[in-house]
Amino acid sequence: MQKQEQDKLVELHVTGMHCNNCALSVHKLLEKKGYANVFVSFANEEVKFTSHDEVNLPQVIDAIEGLGFKVQQENQEVKSGFLSEIEHKFLFALVFTIPLFLHMFLPFHWLHQPYVQLALCLPVFILGCAYFGKSAINSIKGGVPNMDVLIFVGSTSAFVYSLIGTLLALGPSYLFYETTATIITLVLLGNVFEKRSVIQTTSAVKDLIKIQHTKAIRVLDGTTETIDAKDIHVGDILLVNEGDQIPTDGDIIWGEAAINESMLTGESVPVEKHKYDAVIGGTLIERGSLRITATKVGNKTVLAQIIDLMKRAQAAKPPIQRLGDKVAAIFVPVVIGIALLTFFLAYFAFDLSFRQSLMNAIAVMVISCPCAMGLATPTAVMVGLGRSAKNGVLIKGGDTVEEMTDLRYMVFDKTGTLTTGNFSVRLMDSTLPDEDLAAMVYGLESYSSHPIAKSLVKAFQDKPKAKLIFTQVKEEKGLGIKAVDSEGNSYQIGSKQLVTNRTDAEGFDVFLLKNGILIAKIALEDELKPDAAMLMQTLKEQQITPVLLSGDRKEKCIALARTIGIDQVYAEQFPQDKLTIIEELKTKGKVAMVGDGINDAPALTTADVGISLGNSSQVAIQSAKVVLLNNELKSIITLLKIGKHTLLTIKQNLFWAFFYNVFAIPLAAFGFLSPMLAALAMACSDVVVIGNSIRLKFKRL
């Protein structure tokens, strides 16, 4: 872990990657150079990697651009000529292709002249060589041939064949310029569709990024100035008025407001915020006005971290994608082999003409589209993760989607997870004066983020307190707080584990010891979350066994389990005991763990899927694979539904991608599809796969 913190992170903006094969070639290149944690997203045009040694950035950029992609560096002016956009390339090619293609139907004799056709085809062919040819050659150099190899070889074969026919005046039977131009133009059209579809699949991340780009009003020496959110520094005082977006994370120092946090939690009901409350950048003030002091800026804000997590999650591959990746990696050489075999069998075995044999071989190359297989998984994952994020569920990895659909057990912590974590003091038993007890309990529990500790701090914060100074404080997972005051007295406050041998501990939840002597016992009441019983019923209907795993008292756990319908209960467990139970359950099937405290972090990490609540401790959030930003248990039902439908979409996409190739290649090989029809069909296959993924964005779950 220490090593990773010292590693240098490099982030690059790489354009020109239009499918998973492109991303794979960049990924392999960087791995060959010895870089770690390589992350490549063709949809977001991002490349990230880490290196323990100094990175020779110009060399890395040259290597990536050597594969046919363009690295856009920060603050670099982008030269955008007319042909830099794929849409413009398509329009340019279309202008020359239409008259060339229509010569077969129009009575203009000059269009039938070989050199006129050559003149019309040549600009399109040069454009194709520059776009597909460069990418094809560089992909072969990189060891991962992409689909551009097939397009380049197919269109070049038709062009060279036609050029020889023109130069040797062999007649119209040797002219296939319209085939060359139409292949390139239709594939460019397919790329236009693909680009626009991928933009839709990544819209959830782009919507969040737009939220970051806002203005802020900074208060300085009694005056105000408008600045960009990226120019905010920690400690700046910001004024945020009604209707404004909060520009960064901060704490309220003046004012009250109702804040819409739906972009974070999916919950549209505004949250009332008061002085000293924390606010999150990107949320919207619906009523009121605030002054806040900035506490987190830039990539440290909650929104920035969510965006980064979503990007990484969208690039993480589910196990089901490995099959698609393996096939895509060997697909191009196999197709070229099939095309050559088609040509030789047609020409030598079936006595077809050289012209027809060549057309069949070209059709095989053009119709074969590994892009559809490469796009099948990432597009579905992007849409699924985007939809879950808009519903207040942050999934940290595409692989988590598949694991969620195959769960056997879902294990729940009790306090703060199945219950609200809002405790009230039901009973206190102590011989101490009220002021001394309040000072000890408030002073000790203020060092913990556990829900019980927070409730006790709240219960004692308004009570008169004696002054008590602690010189040493330590929180022990599953036990509580240990401390030493300025006079050398030792204190312990925590669960029943502190007083295991006492008979008078029954009915109490929190125990306070001074110098090893029990001086106070506190009984608490906790409130059950409203969706808990409904969730357990839903899990059982889906053949997932709910399990209660808690450090709380056995009688309390059993009573709660009976109320909401959990049959399997493990009570009074230490963090290390929770690990053992999780590992035991994992031997019987996939296990998800839902928790919120520091003591749950090891179990969240050990489970196949760790699920944390949005108001959990940072340790729990970092340990989990899923974060429920709105803190509602019903979000788990949303998570299960989105996981199920995302995996179903991936399977449908892979089926159509494989079926398309299995069905189309033989048709092309036997001459039932011309190269032009093959190019059109190839473009359609990508659109079908991406369209099916986009359907997940709107379909009823």
Closest to 414 measured CA to CA, from 267, 641, 578: 578
Gap between the Cα atoms of 321 and 374, Å rounded: 9
> In terms of pTM, does the model score above 0.75?
no
Active-site residue, 429 included: no
Instruction: Give the residue among 265, 388, 269, 373 at the shortest CA–CA distance from 321.
Output: 373
Residue 237 pairs in a beta bridge with 219, 293
Q: What is the mean pLDDT of residues 98-123?
A: 81
Write out pLDDT tens, residues 288-340.
889 999 998 887 887 777 677 656 655 555 555 555 556 656 777 888 899 89
Out of 236, 413, 526, 596, pick the active-site residue: 413
Check residues 81 and 661 and name the one with the higher pLDDT: 661
CATH level 3 topology of 398-419+528-624: Rossmann fold (3.40.50)
pLDDT of residue 78: 46
User: 194 pLDDT exceeds 70?
Assistant: no
What class is the 2-79 domain?
A: alpha beta
**pLDDT value of position 6:** 55
Give the residue-averaged pLDDT of 640-665.
86
Q: Give the residue from 374, 312, 427, 273 showing the smallest Cα distance to 39.
A: 312
Is pLDDT larger for residue 457 or for residue 673? 457
Nearest to 146, CA basis, from 242, 27, 34: 27
Measured CA to CA, the distance from residue 311 to residue 305 in angstroms comes to: 10
Fold classified for 424-525: Calcium-transporting ATPase, cytoplasmic domain N (3.40.1110)
Residue 118 structure tokens? 């050559």
Confidence at residue 304, expressed as pLDDT on a 0 to 100 scale: 78
Query: What was the pLDDT predicted at 80?
Result: 53
Give me the pLDDT at residue 4, please. Answer: 41
| H or E element that contains 537 | helix 532-541
pLDDT of residue 414: 84
Domain ranges within the chain, ordered by starting residue: 2-79, 84-202+317-367+648-698, 233-296, 398-419+528-624, 424-525
Residue 162, phi then psi, degrees to nearest 5: -70, -40
Q: Which residue has the tokens 């749950």?
A: 600
- What single letter denotes the amino acid at residue 611? I
Please list the residues that pair with 522 across neighbouring strands: 428, 510
Q: Which of 425-429, 536-540, 611-615, 687-691 has the lowest mean pLDDT?
A: 611-615
What fold, for 233-296? 2.70.150
Task: Say whether pLDDT at 22 is over 80.
Answer: no
- Round to whole Å and give the CA distance between 571 and 631: 23
Contacts of 191 (CB under 8 A, 6+ apart): 18, 86, 90
Strands 545-549 and 517-525: unpaired
Across the range 541-545, mean pLDDT stands at: 93
For residues 26-42, give the mean pLDDT: 83
How many Cα neighbours within 13 Å face the side chain of 564? 28
User: In 67-176, where does DSSP find H-type helix?
Assistant: 86-102, 114-128, 134-141, 147-167
Phi, psi (rounded to 5 degrees) for 33? -80, 0
